Structure 1
Amino acid sequence: MNDIGQPLVVAMVRTRDASSSRARTPGYKRVSEVEKVVCASFILRGSAGHWWDTMSSIEDVNTLTWDRFKELFCNKYFIAPVRTMKMNEFIQLRQRRMTVGEYIRKFEQLSTFATHMINTKALKVERFLEGLRPKLYRDVSMARIQDVSYSQNCGESLSFRTSQTKD
């Protein structure tokens, strides 16, 4: 992974859903799943480019989703023990001394290695809340309304944390 592999992995781990702040930026056009794959494959060089050439002959790249591309890429460039280690990190993730913002970033980064654990909105929200500090978990959970999204819970956690620092 000497050439483009590592930067692309870092970029993929940081990739957010379409609900990211970029989606609200004027002039930002949503990119389809297939277009994401085309854009990512365009920057692959060296061994990663050769890997993509091989994948292109195996997979139907005209219908390849972004999630499938990430899965294939991570399977190639993250060996199984590393993926398992990152998944275990996600399982054990707790806010502890992190700020809420740091916890959110870490949750988003590590969650890419445990998507099967948070494959519904409810599971993602519950897992996020479980990792908060106990007092913050209690406050956010008490204020929580059914069917609140992950991003709303992040915002709620941040606002509770801000109000606590003012007291």
Structure 2
Amino acid sequence: MDPKEFSGTTDPMIAEGWIKSIEVIFAFMELQDADRVRCATFLLTGEARLWWESASVLTGEFMTLRQRDNSVAEFVRKFERGCHFVPLIDNDAWEKLRHFIDGLRSILRRDARVASPTTYAVAVSRVLAAEQDQREIESDRQGKRPYQAP
């Protein structure tokens, strides 16, 4: 059936067109959801493949991206790029906030939940500050307090 590979894009219309083209094939083949996911991931290349590999859990209709060893800034970039492919998260402020917090490393996730942010932008700001605090705590533990101008 000659399915096309997908290397990623920031244009949601192109991504949606690719999805629709492979859905036609999947419907013809009468594939179940799990098989559809496996077949679709086989067709991902380039940035789309990297994005998929950084995603760890498929929960219902949503992909939860995990921070792992990325800095908060890098995680935010990946998360925002990934949201382009999941409009149900991108277009729902509460879902976007929830998925962002759920994807953070445990210590930052705890800090974000304690702060009780009401928007995604506030959560990003607070988590960036929490990450900086973590760096300073680690530096203090090592006896290397960073120099701060008076």
Instruction: Give TM-score, length-normalised by structure 2.
Output: 0.55
- Asked if 1:75 corresponds to 2:47, the answer is no
* Partners of 2:65 and 2:13 in 1: CA distance: 25
Percent identity of paired positions between Structure 1 and Structure 2 = 25
| 8 Å CA contact 1:129, 1:137 repeated in 2 | yes
- Aligned-residue offset at 1:107: 0.2
Deviation at 1:93, TM superposition (A): 1.4
Deviation at 1:140, TM superposition (A): 1.2
Distance 1:116 1:92 in 2: 13
**What's the counterpart of residue 128 of structure 1?**
100
1:97-108 to 2 correspondences below 5 Å = 97-108=69-80
Q: Which of 125, 140, 143 is residue 155 of structure 1 equivalent to?
A: 125
Match of 2:87 among 115, 133, 149: 115
Structure 2 gaps of 5+ residues are 1-6, 23-39, 56-61, 138-150
1:164, 1:72 → 2: CA distance? 40
Higher relative contact order (CA 8 A, sep 6+): 1
1:120: how far off? 1.6
Contact 1:87 1:113 in 2 (8 A): no
Measured on the aligned residues, the alpha-carbon RMSD in Å equals: 3.0
Residues 152-161 or 111-120, more deviating: 111-120
Flag structure 1 segments of 5+ consecutive residues without an equivalent. 1-5, 14-69
The alignment partner of 1:91 has SS state of strand
**Higher fraction of strand:** 2
Which amino acid letter does the alignment assign opposite residue 14 of structure 2? Answer: F
Contact 1:87–1:111 under 8 Å retained in 2: no
Matches within 5 A, 1:2-151: 10=9, 13=10, 70-76=11-17, 80=22, 81=40, 89=55, 91-145=63-117, 148-151=118-121
Aligned-partner Cα distance in 2 for 1:127–1:72: 23
Name the structure 2 match of 1:164.
134
SS in 1 for 2:110: helix
Task: Write the letter of the residue equivalent to 1:110.
Answer: G
Name the TM-score, length of structure 1 as normaliser: 0.50
How many corresponding residue pairs? 100
